């Protein structure tokens, strides 16, 4: 894939002769210059491409902005027993793709998912920018590189599977990232990715107060359509995309009715998950709801499966 020089898609906003803000002047997905500001989402600098429908931050954060924001980003030190169960269900579904026995998690945090994969005999690798998180991974016996994926030292067609949980929304150069994925993934290998769904019911309900809409944390906002498109452009075939879940925790915290942590043992979401998991009829109802959300494309979370052609 040929990627246009990044600088050609950037303009500077000038005030009194000083460069105060750099902005995208073309769509970071399809390269169209038909961009319009998204009314109501000005605080996050969101714009929408009229050609492909992609929503992203028109403003390009400076290194200083990113360093300030991520300095105190913190480490998630709560791992739900139900999340462990979900990880193993996912790993069951990844088994048909196991050939070289190597799996990579991009933005692996402190290695919760890779820890479960390691127990099942996978040769596990990760990338993680946080020094603290990378050290924790290393202590767990996970081969981790503390770099961006484009700077990582991996062999060509090295992996069977690449996973990335809630990462792609943090970057504004998705084609560059996915070109690396394609290079290090074997032909027929799988990318499994999760990201917030911009077309979710909660976003429609809450608008810009939905606390997924944050700058400079989240720079790209995907839907089923645009997630398919970015992977197609990058040389992947869509295997499946699901849009699942409605977060009570996100709803209440976005409305200012709760200050609970998004991921914690006491969150509304965790309490509901536990209640559902312990009752077969509620599990059946959850499955039905998620299938409906996927058909309509309005669940909170996008879960995409993409195969290298």
Q: What is the pLDDT at residue 1?
A: 33
Strands (E), 58-184: 59-60, 102-106, 123-127, 143-145, 159-165
* pLDDT one-digit tens code per residue, 38-77: 999 999 999 999 999 999 999 999 989 998 888 878 788 8
CA angle 275–193–65, rounded 5-degree value = 100
11-19's contacts with Cβ under 8 Å and 24+ in sequence apart are: none
Model confidence, pTM: 0.93
Residue 70: the pLDDT is: 87
Pairing of strands 123-127, 102-106: parallel
200 contacts 293 by C-beta, under 8 angstroms? no
**In this predicted structure, what is the pLDDT of residue 2?**
35
How far apart CA 43 and CA 83 sit, in angstroms, is: 33
Region of 304 on the Ramachandran plot (φ > 0 left; ψ -120 to 50 alpha; else beta): beta
Return averaged pLDDT per consecutive 10 residues of the chain, 309 residues in all: 43 55 92 96 97 97 90 83 97 98 97 98 96 94 96 97 97 95 98 98 98 97 98 97 97 97 95 95 97 98 97
CA angle 211, 87, 228 (to 5 degrees): 60
**Residue 94 and residue 255: Cα distance in Å, rounded?**
37
Which residues of the chain does CATH 3.40.50.150 include? 81-308
**Which superfamily does CATH assign the domain made up of 81-308 to?**
Vaccinia Virus protein VP39 (3.40.50.150)
SS3 state at 12: strand
CA distance 95 to 107: 21
Half-sphere exposure of 109 (CA within 13 A, CB side): 17
What is the pLDDT, as a whole number, of residue 172? 94
Would you call 250 helix, strand, or coil by DSSP? helix
**Cα of 246 vs its chain's centroid, Å:** 17
List all residues 6 or more positions away from 307 whose beta carbon is below 8 Å from its beta carbon. 188, 189, 190, 191, 236, 237, 239
The confidence score (pLDDT) of residue 7 equals 44
Q: How far is CA 36 from the centre of its chain?
A: 24
């Amino acid at each position: 894939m040929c990627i246009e020089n990044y600088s050609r898609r950037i303009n500077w906003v000038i005030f009194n002769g000083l460069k105060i803000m750099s902005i995208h002047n073309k769509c970071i997905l399809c390269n169209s210059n038909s961009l319009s500001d998204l009314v109501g989402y000005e605080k996050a600098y969101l714009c929408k491409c009229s050609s492909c429908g992609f929503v992203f931050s028109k403003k390009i954060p400076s290194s200083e902005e990113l360093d300030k924001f991520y300095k105190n980003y913190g480490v998630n030190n709560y791992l739900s027993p139900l999340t462990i169960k979900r990880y193993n269900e996912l790993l069951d579904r990844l088994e048909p793709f196991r050939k070289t026995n190597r799996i990579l998690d991009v933005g692996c945090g402190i290695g919760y998912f890779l820890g479960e994969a390691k127990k099942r005999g996978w040769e596990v690798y990760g990338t993680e920018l946080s020094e603290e998180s990378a050290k924790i991974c290393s202590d767990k016996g996970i081969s981790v590189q503390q770099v961006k994926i484009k700077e990582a030292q991996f062999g060509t067609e090295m992996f069977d599977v690449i996973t990335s949980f809630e990462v792609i929304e943090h970057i504004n150069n998705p084609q560059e990232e996915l070109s690396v994925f394609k290079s290090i993934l074997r032909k027929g290998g799988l990318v499994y990715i999760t990201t917030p769904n911009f077309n979710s019911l909660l976003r429609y309900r809450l608008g810009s107060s939905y606390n997924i809409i944050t700058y400079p944390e989240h720079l790209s906002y995907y839907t089923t359509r645009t997630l398919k498109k970015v992977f197609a452009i990058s040389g992947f075939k869509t295997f499946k995309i699901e849009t699942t879940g409605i977060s009570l925790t996100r709803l209440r915290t976005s409305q200012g009715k709760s200050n609970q942590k998004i991921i914690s043992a006491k969150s509304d979401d965790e309490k509901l998950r536990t209640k559902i998991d312990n009752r077969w009829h509620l599990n059946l109802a959850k499955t039905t709801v998620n299938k409906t959300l996927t058909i309509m494309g309005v669940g909170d979370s996008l879960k995409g499966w993409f195969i290298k052609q």
